[in-house]
Structure 1
Amino acid sequence: MEDRPLLDDDEFGDVVEERLEQLGGIEELSRDGMEIRFRWHGRAVVSELEHFYNAYRRSPEQLESILQSLEAAVRSFAPDRGQELWDELEDRVYPMIKPASMLLEVAERNLPQLVYRPFLADLIVCYVIDEPESVAYINEEHLKTWGVLETTIYTKAVDNLRIKTLKPGMAQVMGEGNQMLFIYSTSDGYDAARILLTDVLSEWADLLPGNLVLGIPNRDFLIGFSDANPEILQRIAMQIAQDAYKLDYGLSDQLWTIKQGQILIYEYDWSSSERKN
């Protein structure tokens, strides 16, 4: 895999500007050196990019993860939802799968910590309030104001996602037998998070020979397939690994499976092309 040329600070700033412009709700954006200014949903924000650029220089291959962390920091400046009652917002709460590194970035920016729960393979489940053109991350200050627990947020977020997911036409199904594929690629921001819907995924598993294998290479893609054919398994696994690196909002090259209603890491012996599960 070819090394990408290292961005200088000005090029990095250009990438950040382009990314912010995609968020929606950004106005009056300008940059002076490593300081960026804009209005976010009507609120004036000044952000120093030096911390994020230094993180990029240390680990250039983590550019996408760093940009995601910057997005989370920006979203934390969204209009304060803490003043609204939980009952007014709960139907718009959804889960998102994110790299665990996002927590460190938020902490280093001295922002309220996100509400989250650990997932697997250096990933976390965090929670957002779905807005017309963006999302607002739920942080610990919200929980104090609302008087609810993280377990309540998780249960409601997953229930909301299930209702959204079970609408007709959300899943793509193609092929038959050991070549059957199940895909969520709706670009609604929650495709990878659909791995949390173990009841829905278990229904997929019942239609396949062998074990159900899952991949979430980035935020906007979930694929399910059979491990009955080792050649197909290896081919799709390699594609997942490539996509996790090159696609926006990259998450994981890991394979997953469902056992007795639990999400587990799928262990695969690449040297022998044989299943361990």
Structure 2
Amino acid sequence: MQRKFVKQDIVSILQRHHPDWPIISTDDPLAVVIGNMKISLNNILLIVRNAPDDEAEKAIVDFFENIMSGKQGGGSTEDLSYATAKTRLLPQIIPGEFRESAPNLLFRPFFSGLGVACALDEDGGYELLQNQVLAAWDVRQETVEAQAIANLEAHCKLDAFEPRSGEEGAFVVVAAEDSYSAARLLLPQFMETLRASLGAERIFVGIPNRDFLVAWTPDFSGRQAFAAKIRRDAENEAYPLTDELFVFSERGVSLMSADQISDHGR
């Protein structure tokens, strides 16, 4: 079982690698203050959630060294106005248990224990928003999420996809290098374009981890192999989400029915 990292673990690692950094003690369990820079721990806690200790330590050191060298944005999101931040907002699907270490995280329940969060996108990463940011902005959660979805829709290419064929049926893989592949499941226009490209009234979708989305037609010959691989990937890949299988149709997103799950060998 992997160790659950908390703020003090991160501070200890930083003090060991960079004893020259002026780390200031604060009561905020989800931020570290180094000199005059307040750095959110939301992203790094998610990154190291399932990582072995040695890999987690390297990720933590790299993350903070990038920030301290100016490669990633630091500071407090609350210092930004909504007018300034709104063009950088994007939606993210996150594991529900992440709220255990971030209870004030802006969060809307999704399916299968997952949640929809909103991220402030930055070069090299993103920061998940917390409720106090909305209070500072005086903006409703629904408004922020709608803006985030609109931004990601605009970011994605909505041209017809090029499905790959099996012995029967077809599938499409989305593995964009932008940290929002799975989050595309939240986009009505994107998903409708994907469904139209596959030429089916409904399509099945898996999001085993943050950086991967796969969709296929009901008659796809490799559907049982896909279901098995999605389960393995959800257990073994970085940024895991779920092994649940979804349906997308003109009515939106839902979970597979029991009969559909059985047809996929589960």
- Whether these two folds match at TM > 0.5 is yes
Q: Which has the higher contact order (CA 8 A, sep 6+)?
A: 2
Indicate how the Cα distance of structure 1 residues 131 and 159 shifts in structure 2: closer, same or farther if over 3 A, else same.
same
Q: RMSD of the alignment, in Å? A: 4.1
2:123 corresponds to:
132
Bigger Cα displacement from structure 2, 255-264 vs 185-194: 255-264
- State whether residues 158 and 190 of structure 2, in contact with CA within 8 Å, keep that contact through their aligned partners in structure 1: no
The one of 196, 207, 214 aligned to 1:223: 214
How far apart are residue 213 of structure 1 and its match?
0.3
User: Which amino acid in the other structure matches residue 217 of structure 1?
Assistant: P
The one of 91, 98, 120 aligned to 1:95: 91
* Pairing 1:79-118 to 2, within 5 Å after superposition: 79-107=75-103, 113-118=104-109
Give the percent of matched residue pairs that are identical in Structure 1 and Structure 2: 22
How far apart are residue 43 of structure 1 and its match?
2.9
- State whether residues 119 and 128 of structure 2, in contact with CA within 8 Å, keep that contact through their aligned partners in structure 1: yes
How far apart are residue 42 of structure 1 and its match?
6.2
Q: CA–CA distance in 1 between the matches of 2:167 and 2:34? A: 49
- State whether residues 181 and 223 of structure 1, in contact with CA within 8 Å, keep that contact through their aligned partners in structure 2: yes
Indicate how the Cα distance of structure 1 residues 95 and 209 shifts in structure 2: closer, same or farther if over 3 A, else same.
closer
1:183-219 residue CA offsets vs partner (Å, 9 max, x unmatched): 2111311111000012221232233346300010000
Unaligned runs of 5+ in 2: 18-22, 24-31, 68-72
* Pairing 1:57-72 to 2, within 5 Å after superposition: 63=50
2:27 corresponds to:
none
- State whether residues 211 and 226 of structure 1, in contact with CA within 8 Å, keep that contact through their aligned partners in structure 2: yes
TM-score if structure 1 supplies the norm length?
A: 0.69
1:9-56 residue CA offsets vs partner (Å, 9 max, x unmatched): 9xx89xx87xx9xxxxxxx93349xxxx777696377x9xxxx9xxx9
Q: CA–CA distance in 1 between the matches of 2:158 and 2:258? A: 33
Q: CA–CA distance in 2 between the matches of 1:90 and 1:166? A: 20
How far apart are residue 145 of structure 1 and its match?
1.1
Q: Secondary structure at the match of 2:241?
A: coil
1:77-129 residue CA offsets vs partner (Å, 9 max, x unmatched): 9511212211111000001100111112213xxxxx11121111000001111
Q: Secondary structure at the match of 1:166?
A: coil
User: Which amino acid in the other structure matches residue 197 of structure 1?
Assistant: L
Indicate how the Cα distance of structure 1 residues 39 and 139 shifts in structure 2: closer, same or farther if over 3 A, else same.
closer
The one of 218, 232, 243 aligned to 2:222: 232
